Structure 1
């Protein structure tokens, strides 16, 4: 049985000038308790989508619903939505406890109830000992945890996060990723999370919606996005990809054969709608290719095989990156696990690279045209948050 939609965007578009659309005919459903990430490059429409859901931007057309009720005609403070911003948006003149209590005070919760809920929220993020400090006395990671507690303290239906970890260093960012995942799991939260970091989206999400030029290119589980990209944009944006160009010489509903520039014929899974003669791209993850002579594997009828010249070897700790040239100009990268049980090829060697037919996909090279640059909505300031409590959280 399919899960009912909890958040629904139906035909939602957003234009600032009446001509160009930063979000174009968005149709998206989010299930209750789901962790959905909106992933895409800058200007792709993901933050505008989040701001329309929060109430800081209004759709030009279309409907947004939460639990079956229209949202797009309600102000932010009536939406029962918590918000976590990249810059934390904490009030510098208030203590940590007062910052966390702010959305409760706006909602006229009694002081006794505020005290109980604030203590519970600070215990949840493991910072009860910092209740009387001010934001400037906390580290960036601690401030972000406080912002998260403030978003959760009034028990909202949905929590929105706009690149909340972007300002943190790598180690702290990874720690906070697991903290957010833990809270999502333990509290059964519905989270809509905006990021341009594809590794972050793959790690944290139940499902990821990939945006480009105001449209969703694909919405799927992380494994489905990585293993079965629907188009060239998704294959190149999500994870590392060897994108080799060629022309389709045969195809059916499932498989296609691609002729590369050096004459090599590659067989792989294919995107629906491909036709013989189409220009296409081979999508191949570097870890799926192998150097037969190095790894002791054999080539069989289920493998594609190309000859390539080794240009460079890069040591990356747990693996080696072998950069190769195929034909006159095409390049390919192979990740070789660092097992210390084999001898790597040398620069200048010509070697065979192989991969299974079902480990690659052949996709049309055409992508949606890039729309003119459009401004994105600014993050609301604390002064705006005082009149829009949901955004303060």
Structure 2
């Protein structure tokens, strides 16, 4: 059987001082045509991982392979990888057409072929009419699209993107997300994308690898990450989470009960290896918590129910955020859809809040440093994305 891995990190570590590792024993496989996002806080190791794949950093230990060929002993221009940076890295003294043609000239592609490829690349990003302008004459979004065209013009096997939309405003960033997703679908590239923006990673990716302390805590589809976080770090980092703390009372067949500080007993799915008596965290998304007195619903046998005091209501347009307290210290947030069909609670009210047992998960309070090997998904997803060529930067 052929190896499904197109990009492979095997035991890859990176240390700058010989003692502390910014990437620690990374094992990660990426399928051909996959859009993989590396997500994590600053200093988690995601950008260093991308730079080692691009060839701008060298692993201290381990191997990196592309399509079965070892990469970590090759310079960047020999890796057939495109790269897009946050600052675009366009040459200010060259026209847009000349910027896009640059990686082709580095690779000694003939002038006639360069002209045809540049024309097709600019048509792909819908900017052929700006070919003779210079970068300073373009908006930020247009410059980013040029950087994408430059990354794709030499038809690399892999495109890498390092926070490519971080400098754009919210509306333009969302527009560029869909533009990149469109190019990904049409060109079937293998994309590795670094971001600290959770919404961006969830929106654009086939799979997301969540980094912390130089290790991957979980690599899974956006749905799996959000609905079934493997540990407390992932639950708290990906999306909004009510991280209520308590003690595990019972554990059986993948379910556990948790005693909260106010005496409430909560039942939910639990992570593997959780033990009775351990300190644990309840992972509950705010939109899964329902306020019965406001919504006119009743809890059923498959729901947890707690009594909480309303501290504040915040109007957010399509929903209200209801800030609550359980007992003397635990805080809880519920999202109440703005349907205008129900009465809202008032600050100071004591109300019932409920959520289904399978809508929450009980996780160990501490996150282990160890992380498993992360294989590619069982079947490739047809998503695609874009970046700028290593030869251009």
TM-score, normalising length: structure 2 = 0.94
Whether 1:344 aligns to 2:370 is no
Alignment of 1:109-148 (within 5 A): 109-148=109-148
How many correspondences in the alignment? 376
Distance (Å, rounded) in 2 between the aligned partners of 1:102 and 1:368? 46
Question: What SS does the aligned partner of 1:5 have?
Answer: coil
Q: Is the 8 A contact 2:249 2:258 kept in 1?
A: yes
Q: Is the 8 A contact 1:3 1:31 kept in 2?
A: no
CA distance change for structure 1 residues 287 and 21 in 2, over 3 Å: closer, same or farther?
Answer: same
Whether 1:190 aligns to 2:179 is no
Partner of 2:167: 167
Partner of 1:82: 82
Partner of 1:218: 218
Partner of 1:91: 91
1:252 deviates by 1.6
Question: What SS does the aligned partner of 2:293 have?
Answer: helix
Stretches of structure 2 that go unaligned for 5 or more consecutive residues are 371-387
Partner of 1:367: 367
Partner of 1:199: 199
Partner of 1:228: 228
Distance (Å, rounded) in 2 between the aligned partners of 1:361 and 1:240? 14
Q: Is the 8 A contact 1:106 1:389 kept in 2?
A: no
Q: Is the 8 A contact 1:38 1:193 kept in 2?
A: yes
RMSD: 1.4
Q: Is the 8 A contact 2:156 2:389 kept in 1?
A: no
1:392 deviates by 2.2
For residues 208-239 of structure 1, give each alpha carbon's deviation from its aligned partner in whole angstroms, at most 9, with x where no partner exists.
00000100000000000000000000000000
Whether 1:47 aligns to 2:47 is yes
Whether 1:105 aligns to 2:102 is no
1:123 deviates by 0.2
1:391 deviates by 5.0
Distance (Å, rounded) in 1 between the aligned partners of 2:121 and 2:37? 24
1:253 deviates by 3.4
1:367 deviates by 2.1
Whether 1:152 aligns to 2:152 is yes
Question: What SS does the aligned partner of 2:6 have?
Answer: strand
Distance (Å, rounded) in 1 between the aligned partners of 2:40 and 2:20? 19
Stretches of structure 1 that go unaligned for 5 or more consecutive residues are 371-387
For residues 50-73 of structure 1, give each alpha carbon's deviation from its aligned partner in whole angstroms, at most 9, with x where no partner exists.
000000000000000000000000
1:300 deviates by 1.2
Partner of 1:239: 239
Q: Is the 8 A contact 1:253 1:270 kept in 2?
A: no
Whether 1:18 aligns to 2:21 is no
Q: Is the 8 A contact 1:253 1:272 kept in 2?
A: no
Whether 1:273 aligns to 2:273 is yes
Partner of 1:71: 71
Partner of 2:286: 286
1:3 deviates by 7.5
Distance (Å, rounded) in 2 between the aligned partners of 1:390 and 1:316? 43
Alignment of 1:288-303 (within 5 A): 288-303=288-303
Q: Which has the higher contact order (CA 8 A, sep 6+)?
A: 2
Distance (Å, rounded) in 2 between the aligned partners of 1:259 and 1:223? 28
Q: Is the 8 A contact 1:54 1:391 kept in 2?
A: no
Runs of 4+ that moved beyond 4 A: none
1:295 deviates by 1.1
